């Protein structure tokens, strides 16, 4: 949100109170309270001349400093608040003639005591400034036209500093120059709107900022003030955390420790998912023909998904199978399970007026109400639909109990669609929550209740969603997918940008609709997107009005889907260890080049390639002619598919057919590749071969192998000596190793 016109002028409808100079400070245990005057104080009369800002510093965990800026402290707070996992943390508070210091771990806030020289600088372990809040940065703004107040702060940017994250955004990957509002919306992928707005960003300088406000936080990223990132929210206070890890990965480790770690996901979920698609006509015969068609063509399939028309039209959601198309759902699900498949069903949190649940929910007070007590309804999406009031514990239990029968019938996982179109005008929540701040937070409670239900019914480690909307903390309820994209190379590229942005926002697992949701892709786009999709965390063939089985595109599409599905299954010993990293530290499986190579400035802006885990570089092809340009960092890289060796530190321009793409193994890697390609879930330690790439004498590489239960099963140490390679394991098991490059 913009408050100024240029460097000196304030917009005429705003009057502001800014932190101008240090007044005094007090310590309360491990909290530092600083009073900042809104005017320069030259005498006692100036104490009456303007407002103040109360600024508090605390430490929710080591290497994190929480800052709260307050103007009026007496306002009532009806907002839902993000859940954070604070820890008892030792801090150091000290004062000199010039500064007050507040230190948490290797991060220090230095508050200047200079006359008319207000500044809070954030210092790293070497006492070098990471960023700072200075002149006219901490402010309370009053809109004289509306009477609304806003609180803001802005932090300085360094030369060449890049900002990433703020959710799943389809705009340019580097956020600099953008105005980004935290407001969940169903806008597709070809707009500045986003399904998943996360008020957290990371900097190329190794720190991150998390604004702890569930509402419409507005970020001006080197836009209104090109030297700063400004963040503002409506109200009389703002709270944000400064997190310093030193690298993007370590900063994400801190953020996900604070806001929630992703769980370990079942190994079967990493295989290929096939959907009935959205508005297509289907029944058991259609679904079976797809499943059998994949088997006949030797394409391994892991999950089959029933989209919305598993229920009758107008009845979404009532969680009742359409009897005209699925007369024997329980028998059908058993037949599919007998094939080794897992099953997924589509839901959303909206209750159409024709649903059997509408009248029951209305009578029991489980649907979202207007302030006059009537049920809020709309015809947008479903005729007369209402919204479940997820702030009501009884409503959550009722909704989950209504869904429970299909899980016991044989459904393994749930696609939690929607959750963005949550009304805010004239709305009264059961628990009194502020409707504006519930708009984004709704998705947290919605996805959490379904994830918790799946844990109850399926057990810990088996729960998985396919969710579209999100806010901060929703990384605890994976997987999320990228929403409604289009069947084009341009949309494929914007989808990748969004996935990389999600990685910088604390989300480790992410997927997308292979070949685009809207329209039907030409065969070349389908095949290129299949390569990208099967080298993503989770892989789903899904569309809108047409089926996505490969033989409907061309015969080569069948070959491409088969090859890359089997390749992903062979990669599972490596990928499942990357999933465990995600669970332990929040490190995304699909990582921007900057995240993996933060010391290489050539990687700062790259958004058409990524690292898949620690060791695989993927550059999807976005052209029909197969031409692709990408950057290889320094070192001797080996192409996984054809064995070529290439020196990095340079740009590459090559042409690939549909059976290949740039897929390079990082120098000094030992890659565990499975000896099975027919399914994603198998005994990895007993069914893998180690492959060494670019190893030199003296290299020592440790490989962690994970069991299908998601726990470490073995550690293997590979040493390169003058006499050859030495392989030892904690279990004593002998592993075969093949050297490349």
Burial class from Cβ neighbours inside 10 Å (0-12, 13-18, 19+) for residue 195 reads: buried
d(CA 548, CA 551): 9
Which CATH number do you get for residue 630? 2.60.40.1180
Q: Are residues 60 and 135 in the same domain?
A: yes
Residues 452-462, buried b or exposed e (16+ Cβ, 10 A)?
ebbeebbeebb
Q: Are residues 676 and 705 in the same domain?
A: yes
pLDDT in the model for residue 9: 87
Measure Cα distances from 591 to 51, 135, 199, 492, 507 in Å.
Answer: 45, 36, 19, 17, 10
Relative to beta strand 342-347, strand 303-306 is parallel
Q: Are residues 220 and 290 in the same domain?
A: no
Token match 């490596």: residue? 574
- Classify residue 577: in a domain, yes or no: no
> Which helix (H) or strand (E) is 511 found in, with range?
strand 510-511
Sign of the C-alpha dihedral, residues 628, 632, 636, 637? negative
Q: How many domains does the chain have?
A: 3
Q: Are residues 344 and 298 in the same domain?
A: yes
pLDDT in the model for residue 48: 82
**pLDDT (tens digit per residue) in 373-426:** 999 999 999 999 999 999 999 999 999 999 999 999 999 999 999 999 999 999
Q: Are residues 44 and 99 in the same domain?
A: yes
Tell me, rounded to whole angstroms, the distance of Cα 637 from its chain centroid: 29
- Classify residue 534: in a domain, yes or no: yes
Contact 129, 122 (CB under 8 A): yes
Q: Are residues 253 and 288 in the same domain?
A: no
Contact 210, 472 (CB under 8 A): yes
d(CA 225, CA 202): 18
Q: Are residues 253 and 273 in the same domain?
A: no
Low-confidence ranges of the chain (pLDDT < 50): none
d(CA 299, CA 718): 34
Contact 481, 511 (CB under 8 A): yes
The answer to pTM > 0.95 is: yes
Mapping DSSP onto H, E and C, the string for 37-53 reads: ECCCCCCHHHHHCCCEE
Catalytic residues: 417, 420, 484
- Classify residue 72: in a domain, yes or no: yes
> Which helix (H) or strand (E) is 442 found in, with range?
helix 435-458
Q: Are residues 564 and 659 in the same domain?
A: no
Q: Are residues 499 and 641 in the same domain?
A: no
- Classify residue 81: in a domain, yes or no: no
Q: Are residues 490 and 636 in the same domain?
A: no
Among 259, 294, 309, the domain-final residue is 259
Among 259, 293, 308, the domain-final residue is 259
Q: Are residues 559 and 607 in the same domain?
A: no
CB-side exposure of 676: number of CA atoms within 13 Å?
A: 14
Q: Are residues 36 and 127 in the same domain?
A: yes
Which CATH number do you get for residue 50? 2.60.40.1760
- Classify residue 582: in a domain, yes or no: no
Q: Which domain holds residue 251?
A: 9-76+88-259
d(CA 43, CA 531): 70
For the chain, how long is the longest CA-to-CA vector?
Answer: 87
Edge-first strand listing for the sheet containing 129-133: 92-95, 99-104, 107-112, 120-123, 129-133
**pLDDT (tens digit per residue) in 460-486:** 999 999 999 999 999 999 999 999 999
- Classify residue 629: in a domain, yes or no: yes
Rg, the chain, Cα only: 27
Q: CA triplet 609, 615, 621: central angle to 5 degrees?
A: 25
- Region class of 15: left (phi > 0), else alpha (psi between -120 and 50), else beta: beta
Among 259, 288, 322, the domain-final residue is 259
């Amino acid at each position: 949100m913009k408050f100024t016109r240029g460097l000196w002028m304030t917009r005429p409808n705003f009057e502001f109170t800014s932190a101008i100079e240090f007044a005094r400070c007090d310590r309360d245990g491990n909290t530092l309270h600083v009073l900042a005057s809104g005017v320069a104080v030259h005498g006692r009369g100036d104490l009456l001349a303007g407002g103040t800002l109360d600024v508090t510093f605390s430490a929710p965990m080591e290497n994190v400093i929480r800052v709260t800026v307050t103007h009026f402290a007496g306002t009532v707070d009806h907002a839902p608040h993000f859940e954070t996992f604070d820890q008892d943390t030792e801090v150091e508070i000290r004062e000199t003639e010039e500064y007050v210091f507040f230190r948490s771990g290797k991060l220090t806030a230095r508050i200047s005591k200079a006359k008319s020289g207000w500044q809070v600088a954030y210092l790293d372990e070497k006492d070098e400034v990471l960023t700072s809040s200075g002149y006219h940065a901490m402010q309370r703004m009053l809109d004289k036209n509306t009477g609304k107040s806003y609180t803001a702060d802005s932090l300085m940017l360094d030369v060449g500093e890049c900002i990433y994250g703020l959710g799943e955004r389809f705009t340019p990957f580097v956020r600099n120059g953008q105005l980004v509002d935290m407001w969940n919306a169903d806008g597709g992928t070809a707009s500045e709107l986003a399904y998943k707005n996360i008020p957290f960003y990371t900097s190329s300088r190794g720190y991150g900022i998390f604004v702890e406000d569930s509402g419409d936080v507005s970020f001006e990223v080197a836009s209104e003030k090109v030297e700063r990132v400004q963040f503002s929210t409506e109200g009389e206070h703002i709270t944000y955390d400064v997190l310093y890890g030193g690298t993007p990965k370590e900063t994400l480790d801190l953020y996900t420790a604070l806001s929630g770690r992703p769980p370990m996901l079942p190994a079967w979920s990493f295989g290929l998912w096939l959907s009935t698609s959205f508005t297509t006509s289907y029944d058991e015969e259609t679904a079976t023909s797809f499943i059998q068609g994949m088997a006949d063509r030797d394409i391994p399939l892991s999950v089959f998904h029933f989209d919305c028309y598993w229920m009758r039209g107008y009845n979404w959601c009532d969680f009742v199978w359409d009897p005209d198309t699925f007369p024997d759902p329980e028998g059908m699900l058993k037949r599919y399970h007998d094939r080794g498949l897992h099953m997924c069903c589509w839901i959303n949190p909206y209750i159409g007026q024709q649903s059997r649940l509408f009248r029951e929910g209305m009578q029991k007070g489980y649907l979202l109400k207007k302030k006059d007590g009537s049920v809020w309804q709309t015809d947008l999406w479903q005729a007369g639909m209402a919204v479940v009031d997820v702030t009501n514990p009884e409503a959550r239990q009722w909704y989950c109990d209504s869904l429970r029968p299909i899980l016991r019938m044989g459904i393994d996982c749930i696609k939690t669609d929607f959750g963005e179109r949550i009304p805010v005008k004239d709305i009264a929540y059961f628990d009194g929550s502020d409707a504006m701040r519930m708009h984004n937070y709704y998705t947290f409670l919605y996805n959490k209740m379904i994830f918790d239900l799946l844990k109850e019914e399926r057990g810990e480690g088996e729960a998985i969603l396919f969710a579209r909307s999100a806010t901060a903390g929703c990384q605890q309820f994976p997987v999320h997918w990228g929403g409604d994209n289009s069947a084009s190379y341009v949309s494929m590229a914007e989808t990748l940008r969004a996935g990389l942005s999600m990685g910088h926002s604390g989300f480790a697992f992410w997927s997308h609709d292979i070949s685009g949701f809207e329209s039907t892709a030409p065969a070349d786009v389908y095949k290129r997107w299949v390569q990208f999709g099967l080298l993503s965390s989770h892989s789903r063939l899904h569309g809108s009005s047409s089926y996505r089985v490969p033989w409907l595109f061309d015969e080569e599409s069948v070959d491409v889907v088969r090859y890359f599905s089997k390749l992903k299954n062979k990669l599972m010993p490596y990928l499942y260890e990357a999933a465990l990293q995600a669970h332990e530290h929040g490190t995304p499986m699909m990582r921007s080049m900057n995240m993996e190579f933060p010391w290489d400035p050539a990687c700062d802006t790259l958004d058409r390639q990524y690292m898949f885990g620690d060791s695989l570089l993927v550059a999807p092809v976005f052209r029909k002619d197969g031409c692709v340009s990408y950057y290889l960092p320094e070192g001797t890289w080996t192409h996984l598919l054809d064995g070529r060796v290439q020196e990095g530190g340079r740009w590459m321009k090559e042409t690939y057919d549909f059976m290949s793409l740039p897929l390079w193994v990082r120098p000094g890697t030992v890659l565990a590749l499975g000896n099975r390609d027919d399914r994603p879930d198998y005994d990895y330690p007993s069914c893998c071969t180690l492959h060494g790439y670019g190893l030199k004498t003296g290299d020592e590489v440790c490989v962690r192998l994970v069991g299908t239960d998601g726990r470490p099963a073995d550690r293997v140490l590979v040493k390169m000596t003058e006499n050859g390679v030495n392989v030892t394991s904690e279990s004593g098991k002998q592993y075969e190793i093949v050297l490349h490059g």
